[in-house]
Amino acid sequence: MRFYTVHLRRDEEPVLIREGFSWGAAIFGPLWLFVHGAWVAGFLVLVADSLIALIPGPLGVVGGILSAWVLGLFGQDLRRWNLTLNGHTAPHVIAARDIASAEARLLGARPELMERIP
C-alpha cells in the first residue's frame, strides 16, 4: 500500500504525489525537479550541488553521494513545497496500490473533481 497526497487548486486538475523515496530525484537531481515544475527547489539544489562539486578529493565525492541520497528522501517533499508556493492546498491523503487506484479513490470521494480532469 502506498500513500499519496492530493494537491488542489481552483479550476485545475488535482495533482497526486506519492509519499516515499524517489529514485528519479536521487539519480537525476535538479533535472528531476525541473521536469516536475519545481523551479525554485531545483535552482536551490543546483546551487548546492555546484558548491559540493567544488570540494576536492574524496570528501567531494561523499558530499555528492550524500546530496543525491538526501534529495531522494526529500524530493517529493520539495515538489509539495513548490505546489504550496503556487497556491495548491493538500486536503487529502489517499492510501492505494498505485496512482490509478489513488485517482479512482479520490474521484469516488470527491466526484465534483471529475469536471477538472481533461
Euclidean distance between CA atoms 36 and 76, whole angstroms: 10
d(CA 39, CA 103): 25
What rounded mean pLDDT belongs to the chain? 93
This prediction has a pTM of 0.86
Three-state DSSP state, 91? strand
Per-residue pLDDT, 64: 94
| Residue scoring higher pLDDT (50 or 115) | 50
Give me the percent of the chain exceeding a pLDDT of 90. 82
Average pLDDT (43-63) is 94
Domain count, the chain: 1
What pLDDT is recorded for position 71? 97
Q: Cα(35)–Cα(45) distance, rounded to whole angstroms?
A: 14
Over 80: is that where the pLDDT of 118 sits? Answer: no
**Percent of the chain residues past pLDDT 70, beyond the cut:** 99
Specify whether the CB–CB gap between 26 and 75 falls below 8 A. yes
Q: Which domain holds residue 56?
A: 2-116
Q: Which DSSP letter does residue 36 get?
A: T
pLDDT in tens, 3-30: 999 999 988 889 999 999 999 999 999 9
Q: Which residues pair with 95 in a beta bridge?
A: 3
